[in-house]
């Protein structure tokens, strides 16, 4: 009965995987009992439009002494202003609206931050196709903004609390044009001028950002160029049915490659990764991410922090100098959009790893590559999953055949095994000896089906993660009532079919002699069906097809063995 025990173990391992995912949440979520009291202006959504975090959120250059202030510098008063009670003119922050064919973005002249991003090609749901997914926002419980600026040592430069000036408040990508540029200008009291330029490209989620520092101050300008993302983490928006997908910080360095920086880790300890050549930092979630990508020949220090219920992750350059009377450009890129693997791998090394396949990435990536190529021929992700399942089944056909033949031979010996159990009763030592003698006489290896099944498990788990992570399956229709392969079957037809096929496959296996084991096996299809009720339809479709193919192959082999025409 070793094969039966093996199947029981595999079932329990899979259930354990599901339970682990259910409880593997990002710890350290703020709660009323454990978080410090803050003013209402520090709570996401409570601050007025155009406000930002305190200057404590501005990273310091590595050479700045602890007592050097980093307060925001005053900007020029050209453009909209208000007059305070003392008669001083103060600049007013404005929103800048940019629309391309794929993005709808709002910048704020307060810091020149990216404050709101809608993904026009990715509606929130099938039912709301005219409502784009809002990946970034500076209000509410899901605050997520991208900031940049300079931490100064000598001279003046803008940070993410300085106010820029713009010549217009709306930009649109025109027909026949491939890009649109947005210039924001800041002028210091010492005459230093900084032009911050965002360039948006047609069909692209990658935004170019360039600072041009023109030093007119008469002395050397010295500062560090920083880029960071700020977000809050409330609620369970990274939960998909019973499945939890990762939401949090990520970094990539040439030395340590892909690393997750969880919200819990940010609360406990600040990240401080020194002298990183290239790489990138990101905030990622299911299907989407935002990532700062420096020029890959530049050196930066990567950092994170937790402040006022907000999480920060970013990078800062060493102190750089702009001589008096000269100028210098500081460039970086920001990606904000879907985790399309073929796009990400062309942007920066390792960025495609944000498709989080875990430790089985080496297997999962080729599987997704094959799935993509099948889809390019078929044009339907549901049918692509079916054909991929068939191909995988064919690849393991001989291994599966060995396993099923072993089970069929064990099933054929079932009456004799029951007789041995009745003869020896509770004397397990004599019973096992008799079983081994029978296996030897009949030339049956009770472990003959173990290796083929164990070899296939990593492939099946890899495919599971591929189907879970692929943004291409989001809102992808199959046929009939399945109009979104990334959400659960609305009528639970596929989960019930999966449970039925699992029950049928179990009937083809030799029944356990142990009554407790038999009861557990009897309930496994029911337990799996309950879990799969809430799984994405694409995942359940795979299991239904795989089980159906397994049943067909196992039934044929079992009939041949029982008829005496199959090999032992």
What tens digit of pLDDT does each residue of 474-524 get? 899 999 899 998 888 999 999 999 999 988 877 776 666 566 666 767 777
Of 319-323, 331-335, 426-430, 472-476, the poorest mean pLDDT is in: 426-430
What is the separation of C-alpha 422 from the centre of its chain, rounded to a whole number of angstroms?
55
pLDDT score of 528 = 82
Greater confidence (363 vs 457) lies with 363
Greater confidence (40 vs 183) lies with 183
Q: Residue 389: left if φ>0, alpha if ψ -120 to 50, beta else—which one?
A: alpha
Give me Rg for the CA atoms of the chain. 30
pLDDT in tens, 511-524: 665 666 667 677 77
pLDDT score of 74 = 39
Residue 446's pLDDT band (cuts 50, 70, 90): low
99's tokens? 């629309």
Structural domains of the chain ordered from first start: 2-21+364-562 (no CATH), 36-354 (2.70.98.90)
Segment 201-226 shows an average pLDDT of: 96
Alpha carbon of 197 to those of 125, 210, 332, 383: distances in Å?
A: 33, 5, 11, 45
pLDDT in tens, 106-157: 999 999 999 999 999 999 988 888 999 999 999 888 899 999 999 999 999 9
Segment 347-363 shows an average pLDDT of: 90
Surface-to-core class of residue 437, CB atoms within 10 Å of its CB (0-12 exposed, 13-18 middle, 19+ buried): exposed
Three-class DSSP labels, 61-122: CCCCCCCCCCCCCCCCCCCCEEECCCCCEEECCCEEEEECCCEEEEEECECCEEEEEEEEEE
pLDDT score of 461 = 82
- Cα–Cα distance, 410 to 399 (Å, whole number): 17
Of 37-46, 75-84, 400-409, the poorest mean pLDDT is in: 37-46
Asked whether 149 and 53 are in contact (CB, 8 A), the reply is: no
Of 304-318, 324-338, 492-506, the poorest mean pLDDT is in: 492-506
pLDDT in tens, 551-566: 888 787 777 766 665 5
- Cα–Cα distance, 40 to 67 (Å, whole number): 28
Say whether 282 sits in a helix, a strand or coil: strand
Strands 132-136 and 113-123: antiparallel
Query: Which residue, 329, 325, 320, is CA-closest to 190?
Result: 325
Q: Please, which residues bridge with residue 198 across strands?
A: 182, 209
- Cα–Cα distance, 220 to 243 (Å, whole number): 55
- Cα–Cα distance, 322 to 124 (Å, whole number): 46
Beta carbons within 8 Å of 545's beta carbon, 6+ residues apart? 385, 386, 389, 390
Residue 50's pLDDT band (cuts 50, 70, 90): very low
Greater confidence (459 vs 514) lies with 459
Beta carbons within 8 Å of 133's beta carbon, 6+ residues apart? 118, 119, 122, 123, 124, 288
- Residue-wise burial string across 512-522, b where 16 or more C-beta atoms lie within 10 A, e elsewhere: bbeeeeeeebe
pTM: 0.80
pLDDT score of 452 = 60
Flag whether pLDDT at 319 surpasses 80.
yes
């Amino acid at each position: 009965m070793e094969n039966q025990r093996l199947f029981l173990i595999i079932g329990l391992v899979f259930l354990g995987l599901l339970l682990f995912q259910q409880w593997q949440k990002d710890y350290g979520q703020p709660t009323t009992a454990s978080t410090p009291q803050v003013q209402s202006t520090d709570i996401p959504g409570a601050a007025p439009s155009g406000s930002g975090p305190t200057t404590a959120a501005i990273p310091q250059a590595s050479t700045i002494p602890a007592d050097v202030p980093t307060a925001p510098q005053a900007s020029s008063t050209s453009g909209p202003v208000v007059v305070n009670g003392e008669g001083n003119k103060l600049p007013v922050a404005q929103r800048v609206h940019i629309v391309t064919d794929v993005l709808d973005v709002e910048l704020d002249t307060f810091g020149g931050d990216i404050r709101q991003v809608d993904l026009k090609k990715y509606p929130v749901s099938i039912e709301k196709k005219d409502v784009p997914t809002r990946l970034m926002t500076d209000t509410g419980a899901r605050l997520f903004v991208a900031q940049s600026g300079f931490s100064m040592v000598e001279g003046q430069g803008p940070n993410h609390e300085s106010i820029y000036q713009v010549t217009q408040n709306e930009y649109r990508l025109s027909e026949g044009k491939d890009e649109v540029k947005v210039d924001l200008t800041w002028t210091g009291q010492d005459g230093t001028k900084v032009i911050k330029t965002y360039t948006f490209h047609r069909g692209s989620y990658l935004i170019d950002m360039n600072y041009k520092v023109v030093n007119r101050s008469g002395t050397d300008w010295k500062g560090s160029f920083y880029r960071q993302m700020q977000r809050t983490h409330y609620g369970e928006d990274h939960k998909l049915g019973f499945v939890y997908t990762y939401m949090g910080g990520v970094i990539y360095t040439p030395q340590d490659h892909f690393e997750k920086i969880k919200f819990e880790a940010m609360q406990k300890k600040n990240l401080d990764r020194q002298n990183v050549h290239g790489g990138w930092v990101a905030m990622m979630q299911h299907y989407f991410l935002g990532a700062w990508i420096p020029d890959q020949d530049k050196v930066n220090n990567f950092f994170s922090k937790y402040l006022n219920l907000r999480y920060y992750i970013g990078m800062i350059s060493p102190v750089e100098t702009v001589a008096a009377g000269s100028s210098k450009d500081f460039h970086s890129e920001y990606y904000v959009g879907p985790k399309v693997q073929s796009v990400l791998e062309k942007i920066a090394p390792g960025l495609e790893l944000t498709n989080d396949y875990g430790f089985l990435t080496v297997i999962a990536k080729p599987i997704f590559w094959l799935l993509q190529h099948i889809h390019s021929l078929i044009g339907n992700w549901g049918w692509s999953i079916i054909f991929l399942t068939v191909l995988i089944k064919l690849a393991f056909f001989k291994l599966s055949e060995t396993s099923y033949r072993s089970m069929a031979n064990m099933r054929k010996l079932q009456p004799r095994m029951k007789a041995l159990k009745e003869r020896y009763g509770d004397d397990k030592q004599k019973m096992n000896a008799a079983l081994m003698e029978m296996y030897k006489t009949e030339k049956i290896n009770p472990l003959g089906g173990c290796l083929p099944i164990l070899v296939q498990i990593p492939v099946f788990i890899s495919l599971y993660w591929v189907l879970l992570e692929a943004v291409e399956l989001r809102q992808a229709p199959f046929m009939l009532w399945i109009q979104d392969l990334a959400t659960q079957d609305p009528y639970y037809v596929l989960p019930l079919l999966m449970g039925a096929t699992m029950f049928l496959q179990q009937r083809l296996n030799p029944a356990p002699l142990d009554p407790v084991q038999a009861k557990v096996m009897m309930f496994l299809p029911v337990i799996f069906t309950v879990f799969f009720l809430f799984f994405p339809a694409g995942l359940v479709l795979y299991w239904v097809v795989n089980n159906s193919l397994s049943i067909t192959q196992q039934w044929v082999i079992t009939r041949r063995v029982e008829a005496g025409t199959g090999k032992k």
